Amino acid sequence: MTAERGADPHVRELLGAYVLDALSAAESGPVARHLQSCDACAAAYVEVADAVCLLALLDEEDLLE
């Protein structure tokens, strides 16, 4: 993965991996810097982070329903 996405300067495609700490240091740095200056991506980050937190509350039985 890379934080540079062609003409699109936003990092939305990387937010899931960023929230899960699955990016390398070279990738997470640019994402963190972008989130500090882009309100749209910062809002999307909050939504992804909230979803990850909610998923952590589910157990196997919840997922099978």
The single-letter DSSP state of residue 12 is: G
User: CB neighbours of 40 closer than 8 A, spacing ≥ 6?
Assistant: 10
The pTM score is: 0.71
Residue in the structure block whose two tokens are 């990850």: 52
Residue 54's pLDDT is what?
Answer: 81
Spell out the per-residue pLDDT of the chain, length 65, in tens. 444 444 457 888 999 999 999 999 999 999 999 999 999 999 999 999 998 888 778 888 877 86
Distance between CA atoms of residues 35 and 55, nearest Å: 23
Residue 52's pLDDT is what?
Answer: 80
Give the start-to-end residue ranges of the domains of the chain. Answer: 12-63
Distance between CA atoms of residues 32 and 28, nearest Å: 6
